[in-house]
Amino acid sequence: MHLKYCKIICMTDINIKELINEAFEGRANAYAPYSGFKVGAALLTSNGIYTGCNIENSSYSATNCAERTAIFKAVSEGVKDFKAIAIVGGYDGKDIEDYAAPCGVCRQVMSEFVDSDSFVIIMAKSPEEYVVKTLSELLPLGFKLENK
């Protein structure tokens, strides 16, 4: 693993595998009757792991992504100290073929609560196959209000 990531997140491979497994657990609850694309997320916080899944809606636009489900679950319970998020996504009933990168809206929501240089996004196909990026790598020049 790249030294930068070791230092930033202090996560071992075992922690990462655990978080990916939790993302798969979250994915099991995905409600995706329209796209058939099921996503799971596991958010590592100072208060443990919050999982999430995508929740689609017949209006389409009211759909909530897995990452935001996990983040909103944590924030709604008073937890805003986030360290990392693992994401898994793929079509229902098929093998996961690609890394599921978070959409732009989810990246923006992450940036509301985290330090973009140290928050880590783990995109996984399996507990053994994953890529790790910081939020600043995935969201350079994200919008921020300094005086919040």
| Residues known to be catalytic | 67
Number of Cβ within a 10 Å radius of residue 29: 15
Q: How many residues bind ligand THU, per CB under 6 A?
A: 13
Please report, as residue ranges, which positions from 13 to 32 form the binding site for ligand THU (by CB under 6 A). Answer: 32
Rounded Cα distance between 5 and 16, Å, is 12
Rounded Cα distance between 100 and 23, Å, is 12
Q: Rounded to a whole number, what is the largest CA-CA distance in the chain?
A: 46
Stretch 115-134: interaction string toward ligand THU, x if CB under 6 A: --------------------
- For ligand THU, the closer of residues 43 and 66 by Cβ is 66
DSSP annotation of 127 reads S
Specify whether the CB–CB gap between 71 and 43 falls below 8 A: yes
- For ligand THU, the closer of residues 6 and 105 by Cβ is 105
Which of 49, 66, 132, 135 touches ligand THU by CB under 6 A? Answer: 66
Binding site for ligand THU (CB under 6 A): 32, 35, 37, 39, 54, 56, 63, 65-67, 102-103, 106
